[in-house]
């Protein structure tokens, strides 16, 4: 088992990198698309809705293949590295699902919070940043955790665009050693540990936001 770990850990490191970067992109896209869908400006609302429906309604694997194999062709002529495709593809896909989570979380904030902030003469941006967003994030964390774990599991598909992630390294070792049971059992365990790390991190983040709101309410 010891001789399998170094190569699998190399793949796990790539998987973690992709997961972190794609998660940051997904969160940013989710928030932007949620606000876009709630906008009163029709072109922005249409653009955000189109993005969400396209990336929720099509296969992640096909999206990755499209970015990797189609973009380099005319009329696009845009060639991206497998690493870049993995981050962008996963970020776009999970961000589309996250947009609905964020939109629901923002709408779940009681209207009284909006009214109180308006009564305090807060600008719309300050009201959103100081009052609405912190409460919405707390509501979004539990379903968001599930999406981030789905993102982690989705990284296994990037091996099909030649990226040396954990799944790619596992298949590589299997073909070289034929120790299928040991290799894929260890790979399964590593994905499980990474998923639990995400869940633990999100629980800690949720507690942090709760403490911040409590301190704010006591002031």
- pTM to 2 decimal places: 0.92
What's the pLDDT at 217?
47
Per-chain mean pLDDT for the chain: 92
What's the pLDDT at 219?
45
Q: Is the model's pLDDT at 175 over the cut of 70? A: yes
Q: How far is CA 20 from CA 26, 70, 155, 156, in A?
A: 10, 26, 11, 14
Rounded (10°) angle between helices 42-57 and 82-108: 120
Token couple for 72: 């380099």
Rounded to whole angstroms, how far apart are CA atoms 158 and 160? 5
- For residue range 25-62, list pLDDT tens digits in order: 999 999 999 999 999 999 999 999 999 999 999 999 99
| Total domains present in the chain | 1
CATH, residue 58 = 1.10.3720.10
- For residue range 95-139, list pLDDT tens digits in order: 999 999 999 999 998 888 888 887 778 888 888 888 888 889 999
* Residue 6 exposed, middle or buried by CB count within 10 Å (0-12, 13-18, 19+): exposed
- For residue range 139-160, list pLDDT tens digits in order: 999 999 999 999 999 999 999 9
Rounded to whole angstroms, how far apart are CA atoms 36 and 30? 10
- Which residue segment(s) compose the domain that 170 sits in? 5-218
Query: Quick check: helix, strand or coil at residue 121?
Result: coil
């Amino acid at each position: 088992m010891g001789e399998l770990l170094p190569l699998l850990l190399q793949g796990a490191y790539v998987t973690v990198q992709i997961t972190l970067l794609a998660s940051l992109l997904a969160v940013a896209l989710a928030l932007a698309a949620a606000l876009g869908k709630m906008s009163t400006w029709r072109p922005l609302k249409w653009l955000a809705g189109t993005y969400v429906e396209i990336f929720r309604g099509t296969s992640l694997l096909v999206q990755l293949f499209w970015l990797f194999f189609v973009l380099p062709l005319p009329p696009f002529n845009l060639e991206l590295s497998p690493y870049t495709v993995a981050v962008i593809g996963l970020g776009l896909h999970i961000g589309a699902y996250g947009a609905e989570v964020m939109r629901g979380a923002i709408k779940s904030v009681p209207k009284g919070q909006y009214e109180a902030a308006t009564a305090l003469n807060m600008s719309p941006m300050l009201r959103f940043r100081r009052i609405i967003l912190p409460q919405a994030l707390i509501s979004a964390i539990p379903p968001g955790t599930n999406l981030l774990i789905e993102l982690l599991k989705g990284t296994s598909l990037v091996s099909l665009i030649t990226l040396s992630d954990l799944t790619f390294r596992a298949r590589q070792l299997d073909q070289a050693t034929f120790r299928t049971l040991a290799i894929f059992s260890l790979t399964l365990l590593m994905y499980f540990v990474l998923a639990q790390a995400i869940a633990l991190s999100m629980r800690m983040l949720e507690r942090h936001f709760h403490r911040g709101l409590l301190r704010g309410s006591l002031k």
